[in-house]
Amino acid sequence: MSREQRGPNEKLGAVLALAGISNAGLARRVNDLGAQRGLTLRYDKTSVARWVSKGMVPQGAAPHLIAAAIGQKLGRPVPLHEIGLADADPAPEVGLAFPRDVGQAVRSATELYRLDLAGRRTGGGIWQSLAGSFAVSAYATPASRWLITPADSSVAREVGPAEGSGAPLKVGHSDVQKLREAAEDARRWDSKYGGGDWRSSMVPECLRVEAAPLLLGSYSDEVGRALFGASAELTRLAGWMAFDTGQQEAAQRYYIQALRLARAAADVPLGGYVLASMSLQATYRGFGDEGVDLAQAALERNRGLATARTMSFFRLVEARAHARAGDAVAAGAALKAAESWLERARPGDSDPTWLGFYSYDRFAADAAECYRDLKAPRQVRRFTEQALSKPTEEFVRSHGLRLVVSAVAELESGNLDAACEQGVRAVEVAGRISSARTTEYVKDLLHRLEPYGDEPRVVELRERARPLLVTPA
């Protein structure tokens, strides 16, 4: 469905020419982006010609997908007004701001929480299918502002009768504790069942129904700091789950707001954790250099503040980014530093609760991925064996990812049977969780196995993986 504008959309035509995208090419990109979000779209070059020459405006998520497709080619965000589709929906700008003022920060976060699937202010889960343009450059301003001022001077808030209906909500520590308990439950479900599990998907609803009214209520500076911290944890979790389910645009918005809330909480380690999450996303998307910058930003402000285990995790994330950027020397140095910090950690340290997942097993798993990116299969096998030595039902997704990395290492070492054996185990795990990231790892393994496509073990693995690869209608 489309609606008609007045005359040709010259802005769209100009940007397409600038990006060097043909009508058929844009249609293909939009259809592919839609498929990634579970949408069945059948645009073709004639559809695009109508958008440009007749000013037709496609409905639903299509304008955002158009902006995302062009943005990917240009390597930067493309707002709807630049392509003449600004009237379609204002949602692409929501969640990308990092306000200096605390009051504006509250409005920015709560506005994001209230968006529905289509980007309208009604109250669904934006993380499932928000379409827009992921651009790693959108992290530049949040990271720099956080580095300059990692804490607000005061966050106390008094709501007068005019701002609400009836008596204003007075927030106390018990309200904050409920959010922290929700975050702890969400972390457990996410690790065990993946970001797409229905229990994990309750996080955006919790932010909308529980966190937003509290943030808009009245609180002292002390309670406010705690409230912002708990909200930041939940918001980062929403971003992590969106990342795990392949919704990179939604994840980016949640991460930016989580970092802003962590600044209001004056919680520098938590802000570093959000930056580390941003770094992992940038690295996963192929932006290794930017991933290094974000990880180092987390490290810089936490020197002398964070616990040894926390610093170890930040250095590990930095190593992941160096490895993706192809810098073996820097990656090796960061891994050595991460291991050294981990050795200094003691059971009595005051580690934050959100770091409960991090142990030597996780260090070994990420070290294996570093060496996978650096094409060093012997090192991959060594660390993967350590990472898989203690499989646990608590971190099912991590176990599945490690199995795929192990399979890749076996394949690159010339052990096809062992690679397929590990691949079958990984597919079994992937089938029990809802994680687009795990599925992408399996797809990568199958791609690497294509030269051996006629081998019986490879055929069997491909058949076992077939249900994972079916795109929802």
Note whether residue 157 is domain-resident: no
Side-chain-side CA neighbours of 368 within 13 Å: the count stands at 27
What's 21's domain CATH number? Answer: 1.10.260
Residue 2's SS3 state is strand
- What pLDDT, on the 0 to 100 scale, is given for residue 421? 94
Q: Which of 35, 65, 89 represents a domain boundary (last residue)?
A: 89
Terminal-to-terminal C-alpha distance of the chain: 18
Residue 121's DSSP bridge partners are 115
Answer whether residue 154 is part of any domain.
Answer: no
CB atoms within 10 A of CB 199: 13
In a domain, 455, yes or no: yes
Has residue 176 been placed in a domain? no
The total number of structural domains in the chain stands at 2
Q: What is the DSSP string of 25-85?
A: HHHHHHHHHHHHTT------HHHHHHHHHS-EEE-TTHHHHHHHHHHHHHTS---GGGGT-
Distance CA 211, CA 106 (A): 11
388 in any annotated domain: yes
Helix (H) or strand (E) holding 334, with range, is helix 328-344
- The continuous run of DSSP H or E covering 214 comes out as helix 212-215
Query: Last residue of a domain, which of 67, 89, 111?
Result: 89
Residue 467 pLDDT = 87
CA-closest candidate to residue 216, choices 127, 125, 104, 90: 104
- Domain with 432 in it: 359-473
Q: What is the pLDDT of residue 275?
A: 98
Q: What is the pTM of this model?
A: 0.79
Asked whether residue 373 is assigned to any structural domain, the reply reads yes
Nearest-angstrom CA–CA distance, 315 and 322: 10
Structure tokens at 278: 């941003």
For residue 61, the one-letter residue type is A
Asked if residue 30 belongs to a domain, the reply is yes
Give the pLDDT confidence score for residue 472 in this predicted structure.
44
Which one of 35, 60, 89 terminates a domain? 89
Is 283 inside a domain boundary?
Answer: no
Burial class of 172 by CB neighbour count within 10 A (0 to 12, 13 to 18, 19+):
middle
Could you give the CA distance from residue 47 to residue 27 in angstroms, rounded to a whole number?
Answer: 8
DSSP letter string over 343-412?
HH--TTS---GGGTT-SHHHHHHHHHHHHHHTT-HHHHHHHHHHHTSS--GGGHHHHHHHHHHHHHHHHH
For 306, phi then psi, to 5°, come to: -80, 160
Tokens 């392509």, residue located: 83
pLDDT tens-digit profile, the chain (473 residues): 455 555 789 899 999 999 999 999 999 998 888 776 556 788 999 999 999 998 888 876 778 788 888 988 887 778 778 888 866 554 557 888 999 999 999 999 999 998 743 343 333 344 444 545 578 889 999 999 999 998 999 999 998 764 444 555 899 999 999 999 999 988 888 777 666 554 556 888 899 889 999 999 999 999 999 999 999 999 999 999 988 888 888 899 999 999 999 999 999 999 999 999 999 999 999 999 999 999 999 999 999 999 999 999 999 999 999 999 999 999 999 999 999 999 999 988 999 999 999 999 999 999 999 999 999 999 999 999 888 877 666 778 888 888 999 999 899 889 999 999 999 999 988 888 878 888 889 999 999 999 998 899 999 999 999 988 765 43
Residues 452, 468, 130, CA angle at the centre, nearest 5°?
125
SS3 4: strand
Residue with tokens 């200096």: 100
Residue 434 sits in a domain whose CATH number is: 1.25.40
Read off the tokens for 430: 């992937």
- Predicted confidence at residue 133, as pLDDT, reads 59
Long-range contacts of 30-38 (CB under 8 A, 24+ apart): 30/62, 30/65, 30/66, 30/69, 33/65, 33/68, 33/69, 33/131, 34/61, 34/62, 34/65, 35/471, 36/246, 37/61, 37/129, 37/131, 37/247, 38/129, 38/471, 38/472, 38/473
